């Protein structure tokens, strides 16, 4: 489940205000403020998922707790935007 710091950081990555996150998630502003202040432990699963979906749709990727701590980052673009892999490079495609 997301934590308060992840929500604040994710919102910062996409430059959203709390009212914008409330609008995009379909939740009340007070719900967003509470989640960011005291965490998501008292929030319904549906509300936390609504926040997560809204932020993911805006390009945020959530990193789960894996021994190094939970986090957020901007999602990588799809493979079509990455160009060629190093093993695909050769003299004929060196632009």
Cα separation, 6 vs 35, in Å, equals 10
Q: Quick one: pLDDT at residue 65?
A: 84
**Parts of the chain with a pLDDT under 70:** 77-88, 93-95
Q: What tens digit of pLDDT does each residue of 65-92 get?
A: 877 888 999 987 654 445 566 666 777 7
Tell me what pLDDT residue 76 has.
72
Give the C-alpha separation, 74 to 9, whole Å.
11
Beta-strand relationship, 71-74 and 60-63: antiparallel
Q: Please, which residues have CB within 8 angstroms of residue 32's CB and are 6 or more apart in sequence?
A: 7, 18, 21, 22, 25, 51
Q: Is the pTM of this model over 0.75?
A: yes
Task: Give me Rg for the CA atoms of the chain.
Answer: 17
Domain boundaries, the chain: 4-81
Query: Topology of domain 4-81, per CATH?
Result: 434 Repressor (Amino-terminal Domain) (1.10.260)
pLDDT at 83: 59
């Amino acid at each position: 489940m997301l934590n308060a710091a992840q929500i604040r950081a994710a919102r910062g990555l996409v430059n959203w205000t709390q009212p914008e996150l409330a609008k995009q998630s379909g939740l009340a502003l007070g719900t967003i403020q509470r989640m960011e202040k005291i965490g998501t432990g008292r929030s319904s699963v549906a509300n936390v998922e609504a926040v997560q979906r809204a932020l993911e749709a805006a390009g945020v990727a959530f990193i789960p707790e894996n021994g190094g701590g939970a986090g957020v980052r901007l999602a990588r673009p799809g493979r079509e935007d990455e160009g060629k892999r190093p093993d695909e490079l050769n003299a004929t495609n060196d632009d």
